[in-house]
């Protein structure tokens, strides 16, 4: 039996899978924001609840919105900033009394979708999570690519490519830089752009709904978003040349992105034609937590 945990900025989800990958249990709790000890305890409690009826401990894989530094063993690059610099893996292993595996949540997402999801059978896949932050994961011929510095796929902290004059130098990012892709494409970044254009402070799903109803300001905000997403993904295609890009996270629920963005990215991709497909996740919000469970080999 295997347990997967997906720790997000607002929720922590846990799943229990049997030997064939079939879901046996699922639980979701709120993330104790800005409280590291409470976050550790919440994850431990959730794992214990999931395996409470098992006769032996399950394997545990955890996806986090950041990475474990190979140099220090501590969390780095987390948009859940209270995790940064903390020995999360060590603390959880001590409390649970066994080894666990931790990966970036986008890596978990792409493993799930490439294994038995929307990208099953593809050799090269780029998995994207666009929600509270903007992350990415790379899957090549059966393997998730982590990289020497554990930052493979971190496209969200490159600058927005081909910026227009009004997009330069860009907004401040929590990482200390300006103009990062994440500041434009994350859900909060999209909402901020709409607000600055005079549309009011609204969550991303409401802006998309208003655009569908013909609201001019919302439509303009969504068109700017599509253009920025197209430019950003084109830069990935120019480097990685994936067969499939799978979108995940809250922004992946905006259905028009799958038609409009590939039409726009052809302007920026260095090719006579672009066969890369942009697809929604087969497993939806469950992909990250399922991928975390599959971090342990069968």
Find out whether 47 and 96 touch, Cβ atoms under 8 Å: yes
How much of the chain exceeds pLDDT 70, in percent? 100
Confidence at residue 23, expressed as pLDDT on a 0 to 100 scale? 86
User: pLDDT tens-digit profile of 81-100?
Assistant: 999 999 999 999 999 999 99
User: pLDDT tens-digit profile of 195-226?
Assistant: 999 999 999 999 999 999 999 999 999 999 99
Confidence at residue 298, expressed as pLDDT on a 0 to 100 scale? 65
Confidence at residue 142, expressed as pLDDT on a 0 to 100 scale? 87
Which pTM value belongs to this model? 0.87
Measured in residues, the chain has a length of 298
What's the rounded Cα separation, in Å, for the pair 49 and 30?
15
Confidence at residue 122, expressed as pLDDT on a 0 to 100 scale? 97
How much of the chain exceeds pLDDT 90, in percent? 82
| Section 42-55 average pLDDT | 92
Average predicted confidence (pLDDT) for the chain:
94
What's the rounded Cα separation, in Å, for the pair 129 and 186?
9
Q: Quick one: pLDDT band at residue 33, thresholds 50, 70, 90? A: very high
| Section 176-202 average pLDDT | 95
| Section 289-297 average pLDDT | 86
- 3-class secondary structure per residue, 223-281: HHHHHHHHHHHHHHHHHHCCCEEEEECHHHHCCCHHHHHHHHHCCCCCCCCCCCEEECC
Find out whether 62 and 70 touch, Cβ atoms under 8 Å: no
| Section 153-172 average pLDDT | 95
Which residue ranges form the domains of the chain, and what is each CATH number? 2-107+286-293 (3.30.420.40), 119-281 (3.30.420.40)
User: pLDDT tens-digit profile of 222-274?
Assistant: 999 999 999 999 999 999 999 999 999 889 999 999 999 999 999 999 999 99
Confidence at residue 233, expressed as pLDDT on a 0 to 100 scale? 98
Confidence at residue 118, expressed as pLDDT on a 0 to 100 scale? 96
Confidence at residue 49, expressed as pLDDT on a 0 to 100 scale? 93
| Section 131-150 average pLDDT | 92
């Amino acid at each position: 039996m295997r347990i997967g945990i997906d720790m997000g900025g607002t929720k922590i989800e846990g799943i229990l899978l049997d030997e064939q990958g079939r879901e046996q249990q699922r639980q979701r709790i709120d993330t104790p924001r800005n409280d590291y000890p409470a976050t550790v305890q919440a994850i431990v409690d959730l794992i214990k609840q999931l395996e409470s009826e098992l006769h032996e401990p399950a394997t545990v894989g955890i996806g986090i919105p950041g990475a474990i530094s190979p140099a220090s063993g501590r969390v780095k690059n987390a948009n859940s900033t209270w995790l940064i610099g903390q020995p999360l893996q060590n603390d959880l292993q001590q409390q649970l009394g066994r080894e666990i595996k931790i990966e970036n949540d986008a890596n978990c997402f792409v493993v799930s979708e490439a294994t038995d999801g929307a990208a099953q059978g593809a050799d090269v896949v780029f998995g994207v999570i666009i929600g509270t932050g903007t992350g990415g994961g790379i899957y090549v011929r059966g393997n998730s690519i982590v990289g020497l510095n554990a930052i493979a796929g971190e496209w969200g902290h490159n600058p927005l490519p081909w910026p227009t004059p009004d997009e330069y130098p860009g907004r401040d990012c929590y990482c200390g830089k300006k103009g990062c892709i994440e500041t434009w494409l994350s859900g909060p970044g999209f909402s901020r752009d709409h607000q600055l254009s005079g549309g009011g402070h609204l969550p991303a799903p409401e802006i998309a709904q208003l655009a569908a109803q013909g609201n001019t300001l919302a439509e303009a905000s969504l068109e700017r978003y599509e253009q920025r997403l197209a430019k950003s993904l084109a830069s990935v295609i120019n480097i990685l040349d994936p067969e499939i890009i799978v979108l995940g996270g809250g922004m992946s629920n905006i259905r028009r992105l799958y038609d409009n963005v590939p039409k726009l990215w052809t302007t920026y991709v260095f090719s006579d034609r672009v066969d890369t497909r942009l697809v929604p996740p087969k497993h939806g919000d469950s992909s990250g937590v399922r991928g975390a469970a599959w971090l342990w080999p069968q």
